[in-house]
């Protein structure tokens, strides 16, 4: 079935497998199935729509609406929400059921859910604060210790200024790094030690400027290498030559020169059509241990899934149109930021821990059989935060579904007017940039930039050896966007021990620079540059890289 996307006007396909999935997850009441209709947007527009309610890296100071305590939150004070400190939110001092109301069949469902979402308290940050230790400045992260400004990250220790890192220790300024230690400016790496400026590599140590390398030690400016030691520019070298180059990395000027050279050399070396290991019957990029997974990106241990993104948990099964997932999830559809032993979750956000049969809900936990609820914990058979008996619930929900179908609401994700952040604060902006005028025209909110910036209070030396301890008391200004930032003491200690120059850009500019080093979440059809076999790849046809199919790449590298 071919459809025209209502958002971008491109054609997209609804396959028989898609239709079978919609049938499988459709709710059943009194023996009657209430079919979820096929989507009206293409996969990419559906992804962006799921991202625009998510703000992970923008944090603000505000007061807890329950206690008056000064707190940090990803909700800007300009937005009209009730925000509680996490400790208070998770306590028994308030009850989300007290905000319950009857469903009004004379009004649209989304309008009523939006009104409820405006008054039910939200927690200030989305973290595993019950398990965290000294991690106040983190968000979308959990089970971490002594971490600062890490996001979408779990099980980390003494790590800073990073996004989507897991099981790391003493790592800084990295993006999608796993099971690694003493790493800096690494992107899409695993099981690395004491590496910097390394990308798409694994099981490597004491190296700098690597791309697509495995089990390499003391290597510099290398590509597509396996099991090598003391290699420089892909040639066997000596310990003395290696140490001479590494010593130069204490200077920012030298690092920038090597970065430019590294970028040019990356384009000259052969690329595999996708990044992934131990996959079977998959399409997309950055997939690991997946089977029967299509047009998906940044996923691990997923089976029988389509259009899922950023799911690094374990055992994600039989799901579709899903962003960010924790461990053990099954039969999830059109949802975001959910996980940990959940099943049958549709059109929802932030559903965590032992949840099932939940539809159109936001930030509910340890619950089941909820429809249109906000902020509930350990509840069952609720509609718009009102408690019902099982019999009442199963009688009313079908009527609401029929009402939503008449209004064109059932089967659609939360609309733009329910977005809790400005579009420019959200993950959607990372993948589909809009101007303020474009965003407002589409019905999104926009947060105007706070222009309060102060001049830098000191000069930043080029070499880390010349940086005084007093730098932690100074205010710095990003050379790119002029935003102010500081160097914290733990960060300075890391730079000094690892012989790394102090950054002159703020965290956000560094973060977005790392993101730009990855390909977009989009597949193009092209031919293997060696055998001409057809491939689906994130390397656009007009890009300069030489792209091989897997067989040709393995033959070339191994």
For residue range 279-300, list pLDDT tens digits in order.
999 999 999 999 999 999 999 9
Q: Read off the pTM.
A: 0.94
Task: List C-alpha distances in Å: 270 to 99, 259, 528, 544, 547.
Answer: 59, 19, 11, 10, 6
For residue range 299-341, list pLDDT tens digits in order.
999 999 999 998 877 789 999 999 988 788 999 999 999 988 9
Task: List C-alpha distances in Å: 65 to 70, 88, 139, 362, 536.
Answer: 10, 10, 19, 19, 50
pLDDT for position 539: 96
Confidence of residue 142 (pLDDT cuts 50, 70, 90): confident
Confidence of residue 35 (pLDDT cuts 50, 70, 90): very high
Mean pLDDT, range 100-123, rounded to an integer? 98
Confidence of residue 446 (pLDDT cuts 50, 70, 90): very high
Q: Is the pLDDT of residue 1 over 90?
A: no
Mean pLDDT, range 219-242, rounded to an integer? 97
User: 195, 227, 231: which is closest to 214 by C-alpha?
Assistant: 227
pLDDT for position 140: 92
CB atoms within 10 A of CB 179: 17
* Secondary structure (DSSP) of 9-53: --EEE--HHHHHHHHHHS-EETTEE-PPPPPSS-HHHHHHHHHTT
pLDDT for position 424: 96
Confidence of residue 119 (pLDDT cuts 50, 70, 90): very high
Confidence of residue 178 (pLDDT cuts 50, 70, 90): very high
> DSSP strand E in 424-505: where?
476-477, 484-485
CA distance 254 to 112: 58
pLDDT for position 227: 97
The radius of gyration of the chain's CA atoms, rounded to the nearest angstrom, is: 25
CA angle 124, 100, 93 (to 5 degrees): 50
Q: Is the pLDDT of residue 144 over 80?
A: yes
pLDDT for position 553: 94
Q: Is the pLDDT of residue 487 over 90?
A: yes
- φ/ψ of 184, rounded to 5, equals -140, 130
CA distance 351 to 244: 52
Q: Is the pLDDT of residue 17 over 80?
A: yes
DSSP-derived 3-state class of residue 544: coil
Q: Is the pLDDT of residue 449 over 90?
A: no
Confidence of residue 556 (pLDDT cuts 50, 70, 90): confident
Task: List C-alpha distances in Å: 285 to 219, 295, 488.
Answer: 26, 8, 35
CA distance 346 to 320: 10
For residue range 3-15, list pLDDT tens digits in order.
999 999 999 999 9
Average of per-residue pLDDT values in the chain: 95
pLDDT for position 326: 78
* Secondary structure (DSSP) of 223-269: ES-BS-BSEETTEE--HHHHHHHHHGGGBHHHHHHHHHHHHHHHHHS
């Amino acid at each position: 079935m071919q459809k025209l996307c209502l958002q971008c006007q491109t054609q997209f396909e609804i396959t028989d497998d898609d239709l079978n999935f919609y049938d499988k997850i459709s709710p059943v009441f009194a023996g009657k199935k209430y079919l979820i209709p096929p989507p009206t947007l293409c996969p990419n527009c559906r992804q962006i729509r799921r991202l625009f309610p998510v703000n992970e890296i923008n944090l603000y100071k505000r007061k807890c609406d329950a206690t008056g305590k000064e707190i940090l939150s990803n909700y800007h004070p300009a937005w009209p929400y009730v925000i509680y400190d996490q400790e208070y939110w998770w306590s028994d001092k308030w009850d989300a059921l007290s905000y319950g109301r009857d469903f009004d069949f004379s009004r649209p469902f989304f309008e009523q859910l939006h009104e409820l979402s405006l008054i039910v308290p939200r927690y200030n940050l989305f973290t595993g604060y019950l398990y965290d230790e000294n991690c106040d400045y983190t968000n979308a992260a959990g089970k971490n210790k002594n971490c600062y400004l890490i996001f979408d990250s779990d099980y980390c220790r003494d790590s800073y200024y990073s996004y989507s890192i897991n099981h790391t220790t003493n790592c800084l300024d990295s993006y999608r790094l796993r099971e690694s230690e003493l790493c800096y400016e690494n992107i899409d790496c695993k099981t690395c030690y004491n590496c910097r400026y390394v990308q798409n590599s694994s099981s490597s140590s004491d190296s700098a400027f690597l791309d697509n390398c495995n089990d390499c030690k003391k290597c510099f400016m290398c590509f597509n290498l396996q099991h090598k030691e003391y290699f420089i520019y892909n040639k066997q070298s000596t310990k003395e030559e290696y140490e001479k180059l590494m010593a130069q990395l204490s200077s920012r000027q030298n690092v920038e020169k090597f970065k430019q050279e590294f970028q040019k050399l990356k384009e000259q070396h052969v690329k595999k059509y996708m990044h992934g290991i131990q996959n079977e019957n998959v399409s997309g990029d950055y997939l690991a241990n997946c089977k029967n997974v299509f047009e998906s990106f940044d996923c691990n241990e997923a089976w029988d899934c389509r259009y899922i993104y950023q799911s690094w948990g374990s055992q994600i099964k039989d799901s579709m149109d899903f962003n960010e997932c924790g461990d053990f999830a099954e039969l999830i559809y059109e949802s975001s930021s959910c996980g940990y032993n959940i099943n049958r979750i549709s059109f929802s956000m932030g559903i965590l821990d032992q949840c099932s049969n939940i539809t159109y809900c936001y930030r509910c936990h340890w619950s089941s059989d909820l429809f249109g609820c906000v902020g509930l914990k350990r509840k069952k058979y609720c509609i718009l935060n009102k408690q019902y008996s099982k019999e009442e619930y199963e009688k009313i929900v079908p009527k609401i579904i029929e009402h939503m179908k008449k209004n064109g609401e059932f089967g659609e994700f939360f609309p733009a007017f329910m977005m809790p952040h400005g579009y420019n604060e959200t993950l959607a902006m990372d993948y589909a940039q809009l101007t303020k005028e474009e965003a407002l025209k589409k019905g999104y909110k926009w947060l105007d930039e706070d222009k309060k910036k102060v001049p830098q209070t000191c000069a930043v030396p080029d070499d880390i050896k010349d940086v005084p301890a007093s730098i932690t008391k100074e205010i710095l200004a990003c050379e790119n966007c002029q935003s102010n930032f500081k160097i914290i003491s733990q960060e300075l200690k890391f730079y000094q021990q690892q012989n790394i120059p102090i950054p002159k850009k703020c965290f956000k500019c560094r973060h977005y620079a790392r993101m730009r080093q990855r390909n977009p979440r989009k597949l193009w059809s092209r031919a293997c540059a060696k055998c001409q076999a057809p491939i689906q790849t994130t390397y656009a046809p007009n890009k300069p890289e030489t792209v091989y199919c897997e067989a040709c790449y393995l033959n070339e590298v191994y």
